[in-house]
Amino acid sequence: MRLFSISRQITLASLILFVITACEYSGQLKPFSTDGCSSFPDGPANDPQRWHSCCVNHDKAYWLGGNYSQRLAADNALKECISKIENPHLANIMRAGVRAGGSPFWLTSYRWGYGWPYTRGYRDVTDIERKQAKILLDRSP
């Protein structure tokens, strides 16, 4: 005989997840790092760094993280930058890729808020955290 039904197990798991995510977050911001356009080229073969700067700026936003609206703004800024440097078609493809693959809930090195420990999610960045981020960015190569 089962101790809990499937629906009770799901309810219990949901409650545990809610409690974990509602807890106050603590964690240290790691120094900024970038891999350029992550799993995408930084430019065409004849100019391999053409849109690299767009991706580095996007990485700065993803490294720091923040709320959902800030992620959407960062992804739109990437699209706009790529559109100006290359073309709107490529910009739309890249935006679609970061929207699908950049969730803070994926265990990837390029997720939203990747400078923080995995459990941060969509949390607003405090003024103190912004100051810490500025110091870390100023120290980055």
Q: What whole-number distance in Å separates Cα of residue 39 and Cα of residue 19?
A: 34
**DSSP states of the chain:** --SS-HHHHHHHHHHHHHHHHHSPP--PPPPP---SSTTS-SS-TTSTTTTHHHHHHHHHHHHH---HHHHHHHHHHHHHHHHHHT-HHHHHHHHHHHHHH--TTS-STTSTTTTS-GGG-S-PPPHHHHHHHHHHHHH--
Torsion 92-97-98-100 (CA) sign:
positive
| pLDDT for position 23 | 47
What is the per-residue pLDDT across 22-39, written as a single tens digit (0 to 9) for each? 444 558 999 999 999 999
Parts of the chain with a pLDDT under 50: 1, 17-24
Domain ranges of the chain: 47-141
Q: Which residue has the tokens 């009770």?
A: 8
State the pTM of this model. 0.81
| pLDDT for position 25 | 53
